[in-house]
Amino acid sequence: MKLRPIPLCFAVMALFAQAASAQVSKAELQAISIPDSVATPIGELKFFDGVPTDTTINTLYDNLDRMRAVDVYLAHQGAASLYAMRKGNAGIGATSNTVSITEQLLKPDSLYLTGNTSTLYALSYLDLQADGALVVELPAGMLGFLDDAWFRYIENMGVPGPDKGKGGKYLLLPPGHTGTVPEGYFVVKMPTYHNLMFLRGSIAKGLAPAVENIKSGLKIYPLSKANNPPTTKFVDFSGTSYNTLVTRGLSFYEGLNQVVQEEPIDAIGPEMRGTLAAIGIKKGQPFKPDARMQKLLIEAADIGAATARAITYQPRIDGVEIYPDTHSAWTMGYASKNTSFETDGAMSPDARALFLYNATGVTPAMATTHVGAGSDYGIAYLDSNKKAFDGSKTYKLHLPPNVPVNDFWAVTIYDTQTRSLLQTSQEFPTAGSQDQGIEKNADGSYDLYFGPKAPAGKEGNWLETVPGKSWFAILRMYGPLESWIDKSWRPSEIEPVK
């Protein structure tokens, strides 16, 4: 006799019956249920047999919106920072495709995240939406790179770039460009319309020649005007008081919304677009948070900024300590020298926030150390006791003999609030081997002092601090040599002077 197969519906019913016959334990029920009242950090949450009350629903949605807004604050520091820089420079006349330049080097008057006073800066905020494809004629001897609207690396220029420091013509193509691409250019496809071109010029042969090299050789103009290019405009911002820093509060999200509206919808992925949309920032739609949402966004910006500072001063991620064997206070800006902030295919949100909250400019060239070339950095956010620096106290840094640099070294101090150059009576809050007044010890070592007053006889080796304010320091090694790279030579901790 031939057996007929049991219909699928009967088989499924049999399985359900079998499952129903098994008793669910009390512990299992407790694990999948929620009590009628739950005490949480956001208050008491109340339910009727698992159904949240209206008040609890409002509390939970407030918390969810606030959490998402904190995530946006941390994840989009790059976009907000570049927008703030672009807006601040436009305020002094350095509008799109013009060049802001430090003809007298960067001074504390200008609020720039951890800028240095030892090299010549030339920056341009490129607008490919207004002018289409742009030509950049780069002079020889430059160091630079291109970053997109989210401060993501696109391409190097100058010595680390395709022109190898010889200069040349770059052609920057806007998103979705379909026109003919002429020959004779270093072609770069840009993922966003608004981008940063960041250039540095060496002043080893003097500041004036470096300025002249840039101002005479750097040209930016639309490809459509290549036959008769307009003159490139330069704006000197040395000593200019203005702000390029990200703010807290509602303005952070308003600026971020502006970036989203300006850029292609696929400039960021669905996950990031979804988080933005959840707090009201959507491409092609107005950003109009109601009074409730405005309050939550302002709270989130405060929490986000505080969290970024916690990540800065007490990071929980690997690869930040330069000397992990001794848990030294010296740290690096790029965790594990990774400029993509990714490890094993996963984004590290803390590593991204650590860098972008405190610095600008993302390029592998800043994290790839070559013996005798480029630069490398050590950051001391805390003193030798892992305590915040106190501007009313005196500290000492010892650099052992034979500081391993091919070019020069410099120590610069910064304001912990603005992460910009500390404003004191000194023109530049920097001391280094290029300074004529600095004194070397008999054995070839150096001692630097930080405090409100110079120790007697140490004026040339002293950086002024401000009572009532904290500060932090960056040691820059230009042309670092092998003993810095392999860590056989290392600076002391910055120690309180008793």
DSSP E strand stretches across 332-467: 342-343, 346-347, 375-380, 395-399, 405-415, 430-432, 446-451, 462-464
Q: Which residues contact 48 (CB under 8 A, 6 or more apart)?
A: 36
The predicted structure's pLDDT at residue 5: 53
In this structure, the strands spanning 99-101 and 234-236 are parallel
State the DSSP H helix or E strand holding residue 52, giving kind and residue range, or none if neither. strand 51-52
Q: Write the DSSP assignment of 186-200 as a string of letters.
A: EEEE-SSSEEEEEEE
Helix then strand then coil, % of the chain, to nearest 5: 30, 25, 45
In this structure, the strands spanning 186-189 and 194-201 are unpaired
The predicted structure's pLDDT at residue 370: 84
Q: What is the pLDDT of residues 352-399, one digit of tens each?
A: 999 999 999 999 988 888 898 888 999 999 999 999 999 999 999 999
- Is the pLDDT at 3 greater than 70? The verdict is no
182: number of Cβ within 10 Å: 13
The predicted structure's pLDDT at residue 202: 84
Please choose, from the candidates 22, 170, 128, 117, the residue with its C-alpha nearest in 3D space to the C-alpha of residue 414. 117
**Please, where are the H alpha helices in 153-220?**
207-217
The predicted structure's pLDDT at residue 27: 85
Q: What is the pLDDT of residues 123-145, one digit of tens each?
A: 999 999 998 999 999 999 999 99
Mean pLDDT value of segment 195-213: 93
- Is the pLDDT at 244 greater than 60? The verdict is yes
Distance between alpha carbon 12 and the CA centroid of its chain, in Å?
56
- Is the pLDDT at 182 greater than 80? The verdict is yes
- Is the pLDDT at 159 greater than 60? The verdict is yes
CATH topology of domain 93-242: Immunoglobulin-like (2.60.40)
Q: What is the pLDDT of residues 14-42, one digit of tens each?
A: 444 454 445 788 888 888 899 999 999 99
Q: Rounded CA gap, 471 and 459, in Å?
A: 19
- Is the pLDDT at 491 greater than 50? The verdict is yes
Q: Where, residue-wise, is CATH 1.10.3360.10 in the chain?
A: 33-91+247-313
Angle between helices 77-90 and 349-356 (to 10 degrees): 20
The predicted structure's pLDDT at residue 17: 47
Residue identified by tokens 């009572």 is 467
CATH topology of domain 369-496: Jelly Rolls (2.60.120)
The predicted structure's pLDDT at residue 446: 98
Q: What is the pLDDT of residues 62-76, one digit of tens each?
A: 999 999 999 999 999
Q: Where, residue-wise, is CATH 2.60.120.600 in the chain?
A: 369-496
The predicted structure's pLDDT at residue 24: 81
The predicted structure's pLDDT at residue 15: 45
Contact predicate 212/167, CB 8 Å: no
Average pLDDT for the chain = 94
222 backbone dihedrals φ, ψ, rounded to 5°:
-65, 145
Q: Give me the percent of the chain exceeding a pLDDT of 90.
A: 88
CA distance to 160, 220, 226, 320, 337, per residue, from 169 (Å): 15, 10, 11, 37, 30
Contact predicate 411/466, CB 8 Å: no
CATH: 1.10.3360.10, 3.40.1030.10, 3.30.380.10, 3.40.50.300. Which one for 33-91+247-313?
1.10.3360.10
Q: Where, residue-wise, is CATH 2.60.40.1610 in the chain?
A: 93-242
Mean pLDDT value of segment 426-444: 95
**Most confident of the following: 47-51, 94-98, 433-437:** 47-51
Contact predicate 72/254, CB 8 Å: no
Q: What is the pLDDT of residues 443-479, one digit of tens each?
A: 999 999 999 999 999 999 999 999 999 999 999 999 9
The predicted structure's pLDDT at residue 329: 96
